[in-house]
Structures are given as structure tokens and as C-alpha cells.
Amino acid sequence: MFAARPLLVLASLAVSVFGATYSISDSHVGKDFLSAFTHQAISDPTHGRVNYVSQSTALANNLTFASGDTLILRADDTTVLSASDAGRNSVRLQSKKTYTEHVTIWNIRHMPQGCGTWPAVWEVGSDWPNDGEIDIVEGVNDQTPNQSTLHTNAGCSMPSSRTQTGTSTGTNCDSAATNNAGCGVQAPQSASYGPPFNSAGGGWYAMERTDTSINVWYWLRNAGNVPSDVLNGAATINTSNWGEPFADFPNTDCDITEHFGAHNLIINLTFCGDWAGAVYSSDGCPGDCTTYVDQNPSAFSNAYFDIAWLKIYE
């Protein structure tokens, strides 16, 4: 048994570095998102200054627009709020299907920006944190770069040195032990998030989850190294051709099959709350977060996702 242990570690590293081949299982573009995802009109678990609305309300108020190869998800940018209002109207979409081992590729043209904003593209299990969480795109208050993070229950940590281009922000993935910070990795370029990402025309984010590793990549729109299968949303993909990920989460000290269950995919935009609100002033934003969000609707004219497509491979 002890002799097999190095072989398991080597297998883990091989998957993490060399990748695998996958076939497309789901493809969503434009109006496909409306049938494949549910608008969650729920209270914000992160305590944001937000009022998540239903799909019918989102469509009626143009907070969700889907046509052709375009999905727009945005917050209300016209209403001045009072203290008694529930929060700024916005959207939170959750996939109807769940996934375990898989790859997602998100073709994103634009992500929400502005002081007070907290957009995210992520995955989560039904029993949090026991089924784990994978944050693919996340940030607050226009602070770059992007950060990808794992959140788990106790017993999952990352090695301090691993094969990735990004910078680790912590190695303990246990949400309870880290005040919900988890184990994050910051991307190496500021253009991976927020206004710089949007100025570059967006790009692609990809996440690969196997039972031995979780990896995240991104490529800006005009980058010269975008893999052809990513660029074209091919029917089959080979992650071994994608180069070094910016975030590598191996199973060296984390049993992925134990800490990560079946996941729904989520896209959402909240305001203030546990993260954006906590660092709002230190991020150089004016006044206090809640007042700013309430009284400055026009500040959120660029607080929207523009998603060209989502491809899911298994």
C-alpha cells in the first residue's frame, strides 16, 4: 500500500499537467440559457445590497436579454433606492443540470464593473460547503486581477508550490477555518478581470474538474495563444494542448471526490455584501457601499455580463 502512494501522486501530476480529451455534452447560446438555467429569486447568501428577481421580471425589465449569440445579464441602472427597499434589482442564474467531472468554457465579451459590484461565475454543490465550491471568475470593486478559489469543508489544502502561472492567496480551502476565504489563486494579468478585461473585448475562461485536479485557464480575446478548440467551441477538446493553467488545484492534500459533489453552474451579480462591502473603502470607492449603490443607479450602466456562449464537456 505504501509503495502505491508515489504512483498515485505521479498520476495526479500527470492529469494536472497533461490534461485529457472530452466530448461536448451541453452547448448554450442566446435563448438556450433561458431554458437551461433558472433565475433564482432568493435572498443573497452573501448578504449583498441586491434583490434577485425572477426570470419573468428580469425579461420584462430588460435585466436579462437573450437573442442570437448574445446573453445579457445586468442590474437595474435607473432606480434610486430608499433604505426600505430590498436592494438593487439584479440576477442570479443557476443551471438545471449538475456536473461532476467536466470542463466548462465560457466565452465572455463583458463582465460587470463599478464600485460596489461583486460579479461571479462559479459552481457549487447542494450541501455547502460539504459538496464544495469552485469560483472561476470573481472579484469586487473593479480590483484586478481575477481570482479563482475553492471553498470546502475541513481536510482540503493545496501545496504551496504547484504548476500554475497565477499566485496563491492561501492554501487552506476549509471555509470555516479561513473565514470563508478558501484557497484562492490570482491570475497573472490585470486584464483577467473588470474594466481591463472589458477593454480587451473579453475572452474565454475554462475550468477542468477531474477526480485528481481542478484547473482554470483564461485567454484574452486577441491573445495569440488561444487553443483552436477553445476558440471555435469544438465538439471535442484536448486540455493537454492548453498550456499551464493559471490556477492548479491538485489532489495532493485534498481528496476531490470526497470534498466536491455534483455541481450546479451559477452566474450572478451582487453588490456590497460580505466581500465587496468589507473592502469597499480600502478599494478606493466613494462614501459607504450601501449608500452608493442606493443613490447612484447610473454608476451601474456597465454592470452587465455579455456572454457569447457556454460549452460543457464530459
The catalytic residues are: 133, 138
Is 2 exposed, middle or buried, given 0-12, 13-18 or 19+ CB atoms closer than 10 A? exposed
- DSSP β-ladder status, 304-313 and 21-28: antiparallel
Distance CA 118, CA 49 (A): 10
**Rounded to 5°, angle at Cα 89 from 88 and 90:** 110
Are 88 and 271 in contact, with CB atoms under 8 Å apart? yes
- DSSP β-ladder status, 263-271 and 92-95: antiparallel
**136, three cell numbers:** 472561476
Evaluate the omega torsion of the peptide bond into residue 129 and state whether it is cis, within 30 degrees of 0: yes
- DSSP β-ladder status, 102-110 and 304-313: antiparallel
SS3 state of residue 229: helix
Distance CA 230, CA 49 (A): 36
Are 107 and 204 in contact, with CB atoms under 8 Å apart? yes
Encoded amino acid at 139, one letter: G
**Rounded to 5°, angle at Cα 134 from 9 and 230:** 85
Strand partners, 305: 73
